[in-house]
Structure 1
Amino acid sequence: MPKIAIIPGSTRATRFADKPVQWLMQAASARSDMDVEVVDLRDFPMPFFDEVASNAYAPTSNEVAVRWQKKIAEFDGYIFVTAEYNHAPPAVLKNALDYAYPEWNRKPVAFMGYGAVGAARAIEQLALICVELQMAPLRSAVHIQGGDFMAVWQGGKPIEELTYLPPLAERMFDDLVWWANALQAARGQAAGEKPIPDEEPPVGEAAQ
């Protein structure tokens, strides 16, 4: 059963993220085909990226970032719950993405966004970033936008009253589980493969 991390993309004291994260966690926990955990960036207070290079090329020196890398390596897929700041994802989420590389590779990622346009523009940027991290960003997503976002954020309307969200979430979960299982199997197969030599052995050595 794939392990999925739900990662809120904001660490602000007044963040809205807790509401959709709680709703998403409850919806995901009702399923029996994935193991879901919230991984909060507040528990990993990393500085702005200041390493000699990505950990794809050099070990990370910051202890919190190393702990972050080890944590996200545990999972087979991810859901980023993101706001949109000036048509972009929160800087703290981008920073967290930059602090790892091999841990993200060949794993699926889905998105839930909230804001004026449901964080659609931020999610588009995140998808491009995730492609560079060798992830598989999914088409299916969940958006809380416009008047509905304002009603939940400032009007106190329960997210549960947004009846169009559960079908979107179920479709996203279905896709995420499919890709997580497929890529988990593929990673396992690749790990067991023998390296292919660059050159064929000389004819006289082939039988040795």
Structure 2
Amino acid sequence: MSENSPADTRTRPGEDRLSVAMIVASTREGRFAPVVADWMRGHLDRRTDLAAGTVDLAEIPLPTVLPAFGSPPPAGTTEALAAISPRLAAADAFVIVTPEYNHSYPAPLKAAIDWHHTEWHAKPVAFVSYGGVSGGLRAVEHLRGVLAELHAVTVRNTVSFHGGWSCFDEEGQVRDPASDAAATSMLDQLAWWAHALRDAKAVRPYQG
């Protein structure tokens, strides 16, 4: 995407940028996630309508025991979540970068989702997935149902890398320019929904 493309001129003078949290789901040793995440972060950083931050779950140890329904969280939970909860709460939108594990998404991502509730409410979520033949799309389909339960809105367009390891060159850039076009289209949709939902919540608080 060039610096002069239409996607780089969405923000009018004085208009607030949208805060986007890019969540990196894989925590495995030797993971491929940083290659995909760095490429996606490049797209986010080139936009003048978005202000992006990265939430790398490999760097955020989450509590392992969820409290019983109606019970207070175990001691130390607030401190353990301090590295992630405020960042999710402050975000206007999310981009989740995820591989596919056993026809679904990684367990640390499920933990990060389950430890939060209102942080997801009435916010849009976009997906960048990678894997083998499926390109991680089965992980994305599972995530759509989970996030709908948490009152999030998942955007239609995704970016998926089938045989992800072969889709990037030695510099970490995609070999197929169609992937860059797909990322631009996806972020355009994400920004539209983020503006619409943020504006709506400013007029009428969301009733979760």
Q: TM-score, normalised on structure 1?
A: 0.83
The structure-2 alpha-carbon separation of the partners of 1:179 and 1:150, relative to structure 1 and needing over 3 Å to count, comes to: same
Q: Sequence identity of aligned pairs in percent?
A: 33
Given that 1:151 and 1:157 are in contact with CA atoms closer than 8 Å, whether structure 2 keeps it comes out as no
The structure-2 alpha-carbon separation of the partners of 1:60 and 1:67, relative to structure 1 and needing over 3 Å to count, comes to: farther
Is the aligned partner of 1:179 residue 2:196?
Answer: no
Given that 2:60 and 2:84 are in contact with CA atoms closer than 8 Å, whether structure 1 keeps it comes out as yes
Q: Could you tell which deviates more after superposition, 93-102 or 59-68?
A: 59-68
Q: Given residue 45 of structure 1, which amino acid in structure 2 is its aligned partner?
A: P
Report the Cα offset of residue 44 of structure 1.
Answer: 1.9
Gap runs ≥5 in structure 2? 1-16
Gap runs ≥5 in structure 1? 194-208
Report the Cα offset of residue 43 of structure 1.
Answer: 2.9
- Aligned residue for 1:95, secondary structure, equals helix
Given that 2:157 and 2:185 are in contact with CA atoms closer than 8 Å, whether structure 1 keeps it comes out as yes
Q: What is residue 97 of structure 2 aligned with on the other side?
A: 81
- Aligned residue for 2:155, secondary structure, equals strand
For residues 90 and 29 of structure 1, the distance between their equivalents in structure 2, rounded to whole angstroms, comes to 26
For residues 12 and 172 of structure 1, the distance between their equivalents in structure 2, rounded to whole angstroms, comes to 27
Report the Cα offset of residue 189 of structure 1.
Answer: 1.3
Given that 2:161 and 2:167 are in contact with CA atoms closer than 8 Å, whether structure 1 keeps it comes out as no
Aligned residue pair count: 187
Q: Could you tell which deviates more after superposition, 69-78 or 38-47?
A: 38-47
Q: What is residue 23 of structure 1 aligned with on the other side?
A: 39
For residues 122 and 177 of structure 2, the distance between their equivalents in structure 1, rounded to whole angstroms, comes to 33
For residues 192 and 176 of structure 1, the distance between their equivalents in structure 2, rounded to whole angstroms, comes to 19
Q: Which of 50, 64, 70 lines up with 2:66 in the alignment?
A: 50
Q: What is residue 203 of structure 1 aligned with on the other side?
A: none
The structure-2 alpha-carbon separation of the partners of 1:138 and 1:192, relative to structure 1 and needing over 3 Å to count, comes to: closer
Q: TM-score, normalised on structure 2?
A: 0.83
Q: What is residue 198 of structure 1 aligned with on the other side?
A: none
Given that 2:66 and 2:115 are in contact with CA atoms closer than 8 Å, whether structure 1 keeps it comes out as no
Deviations 1:60-97 (A, max 9, x none): 44121254222210100000000000100001101110
- Aligned residue for 2:52, secondary structure, equals strand
Aligned CA RMSD, in angstroms, stands at 2.1
